[in-house]
Structure 1
């Protein structure tokens, strides 16, 4: 790989609200990153189950952990984005040491992770970005950009453990946590991913086209506001002795569908568009998520980023 200019590492794993993964995938897609390296799965994970299909036992694939690279044409900071499909239940420190040892010789001196912060906020309210840093310089930068400093508490999972290992290695950086409603903590909340990426772009001094993520975040926000309003209306009716209104069945159609031939043709068309223009990859991912088939198509999706740069 060509020499990198002041590269920064961003690492994301699955977590609450899919905030980190949503931000990581968007960053990878919109910057047109390319796959650099994959860490050996057997070094990081052990099988804890097998799959059964048509009565036959099949070995379940292990989660994959991949590194993607982007060279900044403006010469600010090249980026290395690490996307882990799962957080290992064991060996957390080991994977973090392995990751830091892999990127530090490339000149990485800054490490960032993304996460979610669930609070009592409501959909429609402006979400904050919380920050915790490994060093005073980064903490000052967070304060100067009006992040809400996480004064105390814990950052669970590898989002936190990696930063501990980075600090031990003398690297600067921190965790950016996007605020989301506690009530919807089990649902994807792209508005928090958007807030995190907006803030990170300022910290890193890079440009990211956030138009698609803004539209997606607004769409989800509108749905959550409508849903919450219906729930509160039903509770008010029950407390008033009225029969609760039956919700519109429009939202009930979100059950996992089976793909028909038209859906598959639609996805094939989007894959072709994303292959020709990788900035279209985020729209493709939205469709895969909407149809609940991202896991089925994940390898094909990430194959779009194998070549380039």
Structure 2
């Protein structure tokens, strides 16, 4: 399959779900705004297992294994094409073997450089700028990060495939860079698009690409305001005497973006269909669609239809 795909000096960005949805949000945004198309799927079923099944209105749906797919963008200026690898989950075992397979496929595609995105939880306040930390597998890439005045990850470790992949890439002779967006540790379980925005700003500079970040910037400002309000509520609650029977550490239900237990309303379904129609005409609209599916908690229900938007048309 890789032999049939002709790309020009491509760079690859690999993302998986993780803390703050930083990496996966940045990956989907890049894929949507550049109008990428699906080029291949990595087969590694033996390294995964089904750890849950979906239940809708009391009915159990058949479980399925996570999928791992490659999307490509052809640089109109002919400098270097881009490949975005999106994994739905990290394998619970065989991480090095999985990354070796991924790197082998990337080399077959002609990939010359590998990036991963990740998050860095710190004591930052939600209203502060999200810094980007960086680490690299080679001195030239590290010097590049230094010139951009990023904060180097001096010591520590990068957990999961965000780090393992770069180690395997280095073993295979591919330079690698990890860009980590800063987010508040107290909100580690909530989406933090400001970190994804900062990561994409840095990546766009390194890759010398033009990408419209307006939508992600607006989303980041909206989440910043909501988290600021939530933090104020928490601080007020901590200062006030606790009422008898009050559960310590509980958060108000409205702080979650989970969908209503009854599922999407008919109006929600119509809005989803409209966004699908708009995204079919303009794939840059696909990120708005992805946000809506996530907000309603129905992305898995529409996943195949969503990714069909990125199949290359003949």
Give TM-score, length-normalised by structure 1.
0.92
2:295 corresponds to 1:301: no
Cα separation, 2, equivalents of 1:225 and 1:126: 13
Which segment is superposed worse, 292-301 or 18-27?
A: 292-301
Which segment is superposed worse, 131-140 or 74-83?
A: 74-83
Residue in structure 1 matched with residue 229 of structure 2 by the alignment:
226
How many residues were matched structurally? 303
Which segment is superposed worse, 256-265 or 191-200?
A: 256-265
Aligned residue for 1:176, secondary structure, equals: strand
Mind listing any 5+ residue stretches in structure 1 that lack a counterpart?
Answer: 244-248
Cα separation, 1, equivalents of 2:267 and 2:60: 31
Indicate if the aligned counterparts of 1:194 and 1:210 stay in contact, CA closer than 8 A: yes
Give TM-score, length-normalised by structure 2.
0.90
Q: CA deviation at 1:161?
A: 0.5
Cα distance per residue 1:19-73 (max 9 Å; x no partner): 0000000000000000000112524313345567788876411000000000011
Mind listing any 5+ residue stretches in structure 2 that lack a counterpart?
Answer: 247-251
Residue in structure 2 matched with residue 142 of structure 1 by the alignment:
145
Residue in structure 2 matched with residue 34 of structure 1 by the alignment:
37
Residue in structure 2 matched with residue 124 of structure 1 by the alignment:
127
Cα separation, 1, equivalents of 2:208 and 2:196: 18
Cα separation, 2, equivalents of 1:206 and 1:289: 27
Indicate if the aligned counterparts of 1:135 and 1:173 stay in contact, CA closer than 8 A: yes
Residue in structure 2 matched with residue 216 of structure 1 by the alignment:
219
2:107 corresponds to 1:104: yes
Q: Would the alpha carbon gap of residues 232 and 271 (structure 1) be closer, same or farther in structure 2, given more than 3 Å must change?
A: same
Residue in structure 2 matched with residue 280 of structure 1 by the alignment:
285
2:190 corresponds to 1:187: yes
Cα separation, 2, equivalents of 1:259 and 1:267: 10
Aligned residue for 1:238, secondary structure, equals: coil
Cα separation, 2, equivalents of 1:206 and 1:76: 10
1:203 to 196, 201, 206: 206
Residue in structure 2 matched with residue 246 of structure 1 by the alignment:
none
**What's the C-alpha RMSD, in Å, of the aligned pairs?**
2.4
Cα distance per residue 1:47-100 (max 9 Å; x no partner): 345567788876411000000000011223210110000001101111111111
Residue in structure 1 matched with residue 88 of structure 2 by the alignment:
85
Cα separation, 2, equivalents of 1:28 and 1:81: 7
